[in-house]
Chain A
Amino acid sequence: MALQTHSWPSTYGERAKPRMGFFTDTSVCIGCKACEVACKEWNQIPMSIEGFTGKSYDNSVMLGADRWRHVAFVEQQVTDDPRENGGDLVRAAQVNGAMEEGVQTYQEGDGIRWLMASDVCKHCTDAACLDVCPTGALFRTEFGTVVVQEDICNGCGYCIPACPFGVLDRREDDGRVWKCTLCYDRLKDDKEPACAQACPTNSIQFGELSELRERAEHRLAQFQEAGQEKAQLYLADDEDGIHGAGAFFLLLDEPEVYGLPPDPVDSRHDLGSIWAAAGAAAVALGAGIAAAVFGGRR
């Protein structure tokens, strides 16, 4: 599994550390929001109260400048519920088996499936935010993570629409862009990020990315064996549109159900055609102006 990014480990040479990341196993998330709280406390993030949103138990809604972890709550009517399928004993047995295997996520008895997932900056291998940042405020650390240098960011805001996950945002009263640093300060002291340490169910697992990917494969295999066909690993592969992420996920339904893009792409992959079009348009403009001036009599 190739985990190299454009500037990690190459530019760090001997000082490069193993690439660190998160494996968020959403199947064991209980929606306690300890990650949100621990993140806020450690990183001294200003409060951001949404109040009652009507979006299930979600009161933080989306990642942003003041929300570096966000727990999503999805309530689903379970279509393959054994009681609804009447005499489908095979299906019922499968669900019971899944429960015993620890990969069952249905709420007992009410026919509603409750999906919870703690979202975070993905620390992409091909990070659009880092690519477009004109000042170099965003950089790749020795751990292969993506961090904003707050003494350099001038708040131009280009990274905000560039991110295919809508992670970054500008803090209103501060003017700069803020996002998850994967607790760069703690990593430097060999400590795990605050959210992972606070997570009571190990839904947020922190470690070397190569090791996390291996764990995730075995976890996914467990789901397959239990007949949970919709379980999927998200951003765990080098072949996707961002060449894999530092923070990847085990999801129990399609990514868009959790508010994640099904096919995120770093727009730098199209930069060749973008520059080509801009160049051709510039030449055409020059030709047009020349024709207007030189073509015909004055």
Chain B
Amino acid sequence: MTSYHGQPVIKEPIWTWEIPCYFFTGGLAGASSALAHFAELQDNTELARRAWIVALASNATSPVLLTSDLGRPARFLNMLRMIKVTSPMSLGSWVLAANGVSAGIRVANMWAGVLPRTARVARTAAAYAGLPLATYTAALVSNTAIPVWHAARRELPFVFAAGAGLSAGAVGVIVTPPEHAKPARRLALASAPLELGLMKLMEHRLGELAEPYKQGTAASLARLSRACILGGSALLARRGGSSRGGAVAAGVLMSAGALAARWSVFKAGFQSAADPKYVVGPQRSAIEQGRRRGGARRQSRVAGADPSIGSPATTV
């Protein structure tokens, strides 16, 4: 395939370790909010209370991670300078803020008994802001020119949703005594195969573009995540209901697996941007197959050339 001295066509992101960590904490905050809300509706206060604290803590960690990744951290408030539907990062900042504020109100009410009526609205708001909080990050990376992300735009949000469910379930299992943790266990055990299956489905649909998931750091992280999720699931299924220690170990493994899966997606994007073949290849074949016209045209739209107009020697 033709390229310019093997140079990349697009730029790799400049995002650092904070971003995959945020994919994890954002998903955890979002899914934990929904878990807490539903548990509360079912009068499982032990699980609800803990899940609210997990949601608030991971939500509160998120802006710290995101701000630390900014080139100009002091300008972090510029993120809320406008509401822009064409920018998943803009909408996501608002969703993160909405989830954080409402989870904060819910937890404040839980601890201090303040704002009882607001808290009832807040818990619902936190839960329903939490769901898009868990998936918008997939929309964010899909809405780029990075082939392995953009071409997976239909699957990636579901991968992230499963990962968020897995994280919330796993952390819920860690912090909640087994007798109250059954919903969290079920969530973790149901999300785990979904996460693994959806990753596989995504790679399958990506075809040749999925190569970065089979090479380098992205592949190692994908393997690590599979091992952690499978091991954690087995442990949780066998010991999670009876042994607190077993449940904690399983929860830690599964959380690590969810984080590694986010990190694998993150790294695959870099590898996909670095090699021009992933950018040029699909674009060129779409043109050759007549599916796209491409950015260039060989036919002039004028019949006879008029050098007095077209020559570089004549001034504009």
Among A224, A271, A292, which residue has its beta carbon within 8 angstroms of that of B187? A292
> Please, which residues of chain A bring their CB within 8 A of the CB of B307?
218, 222
> Please, which residues of chain B bring their CB within 8 A of the CB of A206?
316
What 0/1 readout, one digit per residue, does chain B (169-195) give for beta carbons within 8 Å of chain A? 100000000000011101100110010
Residue pair B139, A136 in contact (C-beta under 8 Å): no
Residue pair A219, B310 in contact (C-beta under 8 Å): yes
Residue pair B312, A201 in contact (C-beta under 8 Å): yes
> Please, which residues of chain A bring their CB within 8 A of the CB of B85?
275
Verify if B217 is at the interface (C-beta below 8 Å from A): no
Residue pair B81, A262 in contact (C-beta under 8 Å): no
With A55-B5, A237-B297: A275-B71 Cβ-Cβ less than 8 Å = no
Among B30, B79, B156, B299, which residue has its beta carbon within 8 angstroms of that of A135? B79
Verify if B112 is at the interface (C-beta below 8 Å from A): no
When C-beta atoms are compared, the residue in chain A nearest to B316 turns out to be A207
> Please, which residues of chain A bring their CB within 8 A of the CB of B4?
72, 74, 256-260
With A222-B307, A237-B297, A271-B143: A262-B287 Cβ-Cβ less than 8 Å = yes
> Please, which residues of chain B bring their CB within 8 A of the CB of A293?
35, 38-39, 41-42, 44, 183, 186-187
> Please, which residues of chain A bring their CB within 8 A of the CB of B88?
132, 274, 278
When C-beta atoms are compared, the residue in chain A nearest to B286 turns out to be A263
Could you say which of B84, B296, B305 has the most chain A C-beta atoms within 10 Å of its C-beta? Answer: B296
* Shortest Cβ gap from A34 to chain B (Å): 15
With A28-B312, A234-B295: A283-B145 Cβ-Cβ less than 8 Å = no
- C-alpha gap A127/B286 in the complex (Å): 22
Residue pair A280, B157 in contact (C-beta under 8 Å): yes
- C-alpha gap A270/B157 in the complex (Å): 14
> Please, which residues of chain A bring their CB within 8 A of the CB of B310?
215-222
Instruction: Find residues 103-144 in chain B having any chain A CB closer than 8 Å to their own CB.
Output: 127-128, 131-132, 134-136, 138-140, 142-144
Among A72, A154, A257, A268, which residue has its beta carbon within 8 angstroms of that of B72? A154
Among B81, B158, B299, which residue has its beta carbon within 8 angstroms of that of A152? B81
Residue pair A163, B71 in contact (C-beta under 8 Å): no
Residue pair B89, A282 in contact (C-beta under 8 Å): no
Instruction: Find residues 31-83 in chain B having any chain A CB closer than 8 Å to their own CB.
Output: 31, 34-35, 38-39, 41-42, 44, 69-73, 75-76, 78-79, 81-82
- Interface size bucket, B side? 35 or more
* Shortest Cβ gap from A249 to chain B (Å): 9
Among A170, A289, A295, which residue has its beta carbon within 8 angstroms of that of B34? A289
Residue pair A262, B39 in contact (C-beta under 8 Å): no
Residue pair A164, B93 in contact (C-beta under 8 Å): no
Verify if A131 is at the interface (C-beta below 8 Å from B): yes
How many chain A residues touch the partner (CB < 8 A)?
Answer: 115
What 0/1 readout, one digit per residue, does chain A (132-169) give for beta carbons within 8 Å of chain B? 11111100000000000000111111101111111111
Interface pick from A11-19, A41-49, A105-113, A225-233: A225-233
- C-alpha gap A137/B79 in the complex (Å): 10
* Shortest Cβ gap from B309 to chain A (Å): 4
Instruction: Find residues 263-298 in chain A having any chain B CB closer than 8 Å to their own CB.
Output: 263-265, 267-268, 270-271, 273-275, 277-286, 288-298
With A174-B71, A176-B72, A282-B132: A261-B87 Cβ-Cβ less than 8 Å = no
- C-alpha gap A157/B143 in the complex (Å): 13
Verify if A236 is at the interface (C-beta below 8 Å from B): yes
> Please, which residues of chain B bring their CB within 8 A of the CB of A134?
78-79, 82, 84, 87, 89-90, 93
> Please, which residues of chain B bring their CB within 8 A of the CB of A292?
35, 165, 169, 183-184, 186-187, 190
Residue pair A154, B71 in contact (C-beta under 8 Å): yes
Residue pair A157, B13 in contact (C-beta under 8 Å): yes
Residue pair A211, B316 in contact (C-beta under 8 Å): yes
> Please, which residues of chain A bring their CB within 8 A of the CB of B14?
157, 160, 169-170
- C-alpha gap A221/B90 in the complex (Å): 45
Could you say which of A232, A265, A278, A293 has the most chain B C-beta atoms within 10 Å of its C-beta? Answer: A278
With A132-B89, A158-B89: A232-B298 Cβ-Cβ less than 8 Å = yes
Verify if A241 is at the interface (C-beta below 8 Å from B): yes
Instruction: Find residues 1-36 in chain B having any chain A CB closer than 8 Å to their own CB.
Output: 1-5, 7-15, 30-31, 34-35
With A61-B7, A274-B139, A293-B42: A285-B182 Cβ-Cβ less than 8 Å = no
> Please, which residues of chain B bring their CB within 8 A of the CB of A25?
312
Residue pair A259, B158 in contact (C-beta under 8 Å): no
> Please, which residues of chain A bring their CB within 8 A of the CB of B70?
154-156, 175
Could you say which of A128, A292, A298 has the most chain B C-beta atoms within 10 Å of its C-beta? Answer: A292
Residue pair A233, B15 in contact (C-beta under 8 Å): no
What 0/1 readout, one digit per residue, does chain B (160-173) give for beta carbons within 8 Å of chain A? 11101100110000
Residue pair A289, B31 in contact (C-beta under 8 Å): yes
Verify if A181 is at the interface (C-beta below 8 Å from B): no
When C-beta atoms are compared, the residue in chain B nearest to A207 turns out to be B316
With A281-B138, A289-B187: A232-B78 Cβ-Cβ less than 8 Å = no
* Shortest Cβ gap from A227 to chain B (Å): 12
Residue pair B89, A259 in contact (C-beta under 8 Å): no
Nearest 3 A/B pairs, CB to CB: A155-B71, A175-B71, A218-B310
- New A-B pairs, 5, CB < 8 Å, besides A202-B312, A230-B298, A281-B135: A163-B10, A234-B296, A262-B283, A268-B143, A285-B31
Q: Can you list 13 pairs linking A and B with CB atoms under 8 Å apart?
A: A128-B144, A154-B72, A154-B78, A224-B305, A241-B295, A258-B4, A271-B86, A273-B154, A280-B158, A285-B162, A286-B127, A290-B38, A295-B186
